[in-house]
Structure formats: structure tokens, C-alpha cells
Amino acid sequence: MRHFVEELDQLSNMLLEMCSFVESAVQRSISAVTEKDLYAAEEVLSNEARINQIEIEIDDFAISLLALHQPMAADLRLIVAALKINTDLERMGDLAESIAHRAKSLMEAPMIKPMVDIPHIAGLVQSMVRKSLDAFVQRDAELARSVLASDTAVDNLRSASYHELISFMEHEPASIRQAVDLIAVVRNLERIADHSTNIAEDVLFMVKGIDVRHHAEGRYGLDEGHESD
């Protein structure tokens, strides 16, 4: 039997492979929308099965580590965090798949004006995804905290784009189907951001052993910022 430390490294490496698949799926699904890139959309849809497969492999491996070794303290937190991050990554993959479906539907019509919001929101969300994954790789609590601080900005952008798209529909009923697709894209991006937040919280739990979910720590130790809605 290999040494436990090597197995923990293997678990981290499997999760990193999952991260890179999911990050790529998110990035490609956004290109599919903003650049009407059909190839990118198809690529996301065809990679989903692989992401689902890796999710199962990681869960099985993590559970076998719990069963075979009796991990304590930091090792136990790493394995529990891996199980949770794995679930979040798989859901992010699902959301990228939903965005790819919307992208294909959007390709059937000329691009409408409110589109300009999407690259802005997408840029912020992609930055949250990247930082949360880097925070996991580097066990970097400060980086994880910076992800938590971005969540409100995404919520505000989502809310603004929602109202913009509603009033657009009211004035251009011919674009209703497209606008509904765009609302769904923005909502999916916001949910990807939420999962990045979950991952950042799991990193803080893993690194520091503290639980910051649902503001258990109180504003994540940050002073600035106000809650929206």
C-alpha cells in the first residue's frame, strides 16, 4: 500500500484535473455565447460526460482514503473539502453545459443590444473561478477571501442586467426568446460565481479550520461592502 501522503497528493491531482476541465468548460461556454462559437458549444457538451466520470472517481477515491486510513485534523479537512469541492466543480460543469445550450439557441438569431453586459459579468465570474481554484491549489486563505468579496459585485451586475433585459423585451417583443436566453445565461454565470464562493469557503475551512459559510465568521472579516437583497 502506498504511503498516505502520496495518496493525498493523488487526490489533489485528481481534483486539479477536474478543475482544469471545468474551468475550460466555463471559459468555452462563455465564448460560445459572446463569439457565437458553435464549435466551443459542442465541445462543452461533449466534455460533460468526462467531468461526470472524474467526479465519481474522485468521490470513490476520497471515500476509500477515509475508509483505509484514519485521517485526523488537517488531513481529514483536506478530504472533506475535496468531497465538497468536487460536487461544486461538477455543478459548475452542469452550468457551463446549460450556457452552451443557450448559446446554441442564441446563434439562431441576430445578436441583440443588451449582449454588452455578458462579457463584463463573464470576466468577473471567470476571475472568481480562477482565484478559487488557485486558492485551493496554493492553500491560499487570502486569495480565497478575495473571492468572497467579489460575490456581491456579481449579484449587482446580474440584477442590473435582469432589469435591462426585461425593459428591452417590453420594447422589442420580437427579441423575447433571445432575451430570456440571455437572462438564463446571466443567471447561470451568477450560479457559477456562487459555486466559486463555496469553493473559497471550503479552502478557508481546509487551510484554517474555520467555517465562514453563511457569514458564520461575520462579513468574512472584511469591513467594507454591504449586502444586497
Site string for its own copies, 65-94 (x = CB under 8 A): -xx--xxxx--xx--x--xx--x-------
Q: How far is the CB of 176 from its own copies (least distance, A)?
A: 5
Nearest to 125 by CA among 100, 101, 83, 157: 157
Q: Which stretch binds its own copies (CB under 8 A): 15-23, 24-32, 122-130, 209-217?
A: 209-217
Provide the grid cell at 226.
454591504
Q: Which backbone phi and psi does 175 adopt, to 5 degrees?
A: -100, 15
Q: Which stretch binds its own copies (CB under 8 A): 5-13, 28-36, 119-127, 168-176?
A: 168-176
Residue 214 binds its own copies, judged by CB under 8 A = yes
Which residues ranging from 2 to 31 are in contact with its own copies (CB under 8 A)?
Answer: none
Dihedral in degrees, nearest 10, Cα atoms 11, 14, 19, 22 = -140
Beta carbons of 98 and 188 less than 8 angstroms apart:
yes
Rule CB under 8 A: choose which of 9, 108, 142, 211 binds its own copies: 211
Nearest to 117 by CA among 161, 178, 180, 151: 161
Q: Which amino acid is at 186?
A: V
d(CA 90, CA 95) in angstroms, rounded, equals 9
Residue 55 binds its own copies, judged by CB under 8 A = yes
Q: Which residues bind its own copies (CB under 8 A)?
A: 49, 52-53, 55-56, 59-60, 63, 66-67, 70-73, 76-77, 80, 83-84, 87, 101, 166, 169-170, 173, 176-177, 180, 183-184, 187, 211, 213-214, 216, 229
